[in-house]
Amino acid sequence: MTLPAELLRQAAAAAATRQPGAWLSAYRYERELADAFERVLREIAGDGADLSQQHANLDDSHADMIAVVGDHIVFVEAKVSQWLVPKDAIRQLVRHLKGLSTPDRRHVGLLVSNADFSRSAIDEIAAAQHAGAVLRAVQWKSQEDDDALAEALREVLAA
């Protein structure tokens, strides 16, 4: 059965629209992730790290968390998705990293999601890394995933 193109466009637009109440689960996820990131950060850097959490904003123009560790500034972007994480999430983090100018610090990024990453997102990560961006993507769902989060943080701090 072939569907009309307009119907497919409408379905895609509806899927892209946030569902009522979706912000609540995203907020809970970001709170739990913030606690996990702080645990992992303290484990890796001890008291030599400073973590700030950004307030949510509608245009999503700021990273969700920023940590200063030595000469690194780590930008953490949390993405909650019921499906695969799209490449646009990677592009957003890369824009954060490119838009900064702090010559005495190295800007690195972590994209953390509850969902798997789409093939196009994985390709976008590789392209950004090839272009010189230091970023990692990691799936985190619960405290059981703290080790994966810690490994990703260690990798960006080693860069």
| Full set of structural domains in the chain with CATH | 23-158 (3.40.1350.10)
Strand partners, 76: 65, 110
User: Alpha helices of the chain — where are they, by DSSP H?
Assistant: 5-16, 22-45, 87-98, 119-130, 146-158
Tokens of 145: 């995933």
Percent of the chain with pLDDT over 70: 76
Max mean pLDDT range (61-70, 90-99, 131-140): 131-140
Question: Whole-angstrom Cα distance, residue 121 to residue 62?
Answer: 20
Tokens of 83: 């499906």
In the predicted structure, residue 126 carries a pLDDT above the cut 60: yes
Which is more confident, 31 or 6? 31
Give 82's DSSP letter: S
Question: Whole-angstrom Cα distance, residue 27 to residue 64?
Answer: 11
Nearest to 30 by CA among 63, 6, 4: 63
